[in-house]
Amino acid sequence: MRSIRQYVRENVFGRCGQAVSRLAASELIPRPEMPTSEAEVHEWWLVSPELAAKLRAARNPVLQFCELHMWGREATGTALEDDEDLLAAIGPAPAKRAPTRRPPRPSAGRRRR
């Protein structure tokens, strides 16, 4: 399984706040209403369709324009890997597997009977 850092690297492509502002100003996309009145979008990020679906399911603001998916992030100033909303949408980090022990190989000098 992938780590959270690797998942973010593969599914979050970059900031896109200026693109969202221009699309909204052109009335090509609506500005989404946040689920709670106190919440405010501070950053917009371009994300994969897979992550957009997870964020939508977790009730985070996601805009779609053609094949572009844009996530409205409430947090700012923290690493994406530490964003509570993003972590909740992605789900728990994969558990690390315990190393498996292999039976010892017979030495080359000894014969099996």
Residue 107 within a domain: no
Instruction: Say what the pLDDT of residue 1 is.
Output: 44
Residue 108 within a domain: no
Per-residue confidence band for 112, with pLDDT thresholds at 50, 70 and 90: low
DSSP 110: S
pLDDT digits (tens, 9 = 90+) for 23-73: 988 888 876 655 554 568 899 999 999 999 999 999 999 999 999 999 999
Average pLDDT, the chain: 83
Q: Does pLDDT of 87 surpass 90?
A: yes
User: Quick one: 94 exposed, middle or buried, by C-beta within 10 A (0-12, 13-18, 19+)?
Assistant: exposed
Residue 95 within a domain: no
Range of the domain at 70: 4-90
Per-residue confidence band for 2, with pLDDT thresholds at 50, 70 and 90: low
Residue 100 within a domain: no
Mean pLDDT calculated for residue range 69-92: 92
Q: Which residue has the higher pLDDT, 86 or 96?
A: 86
Residue 73 within a domain: yes
**HSE on the CB side for 68, CA within 13 Å?**
15
Residue 68 within a domain: yes
**Secondary structure (3-state) at 13:** strand
Residue 98 within a domain: no
Q: Does pLDDT of 91 surpass 90?
A: no
DSSP 7: H
Count of domains forming the chain? 1
Instruction: Say what the pLDDT of residue 111 is.
Output: 60
